Amino acid sequence: MRRVIVWRHGETEHNAGGIYQGQLDSHLSDRGRQQAAEAAAALAARRPTRIVASDLARAADTAQALADATGLVVEPDPRLREIHVGRWAGLPHTEVVAGWSDVIEAIDRGEDPRRGETGESVGDVQARVREVFDDLVGRMGEDETAVLATHGVASRTLVAGVIGLTYQQSWLALVGLHNCHWAELVEHRTGWRMESWNVGVTASVGSVTDR
């Protein structure tokens, strides 16, 4: 069976402070670097053969920790970037809730408005991250395990799309991945299935918020 592990990046100062990042190029915090090292040690034991990562620093640096542990080379792909949050980028969650309460309420109901007026919808994100998954699977051999290092919204919408969940189903049923936690997709004769969700090293639990 082929396997794809979808891995969220380690914690950043913006994660810890409740700041919307989107496609801002923030770096891992000290805690985030520790999380990445701990998670990389666990994932290296899975003997992955490929690592593909968002080119944003927080995901690329998380992926590099696994590359250092395995000797693999990280393949950067901008299609794995986090959702673009438009005018929300750099704002605290409290300010976004106060200024765009109708949009936040719609998101909480499982609707998919464009984020921050000038940003993306989750549907936009799903289209580009699914391209990465399909390209990767097309290059994988039998019994290979690959790792995709990405972000909160990107990871949830990718997994949902692969296993056939609608956006609303996934948003209302699945909590976001914790920092440096992952989901595992396994190929069966009838298609891809999710074997695990929100797996990680205990000490790595951090922000669960998708931003």
Task: Please confirm, yes or no, whether 178 is among the known catalytic residues.
Answer: no
- Cβ burial 30-58 (10 Å sphere, 16+ → b, else e): ebbbbbbbbbbebbbeeebebbbbbebbb
Distance CA 8, CA 203 (A): 15
Contact 102, 91 (CB under 8 A): no
Q: Which of 11, 82, 120, 184 is catalytic?
A: 82
Task: Please confirm, yes or no, whether 82 is among the known catalytic residues.
Answer: yes
Q: Which of 9, 14, 84, 181 is catalytic?
A: 9
Distance CA 181, CA 60 (A): 15
E-assigned strand segments in 124-174: 145-150
Closest by alpha carbon to 116, among 13, 21, 17? 21
Q: Known catalytic residues?
A: 9, 82
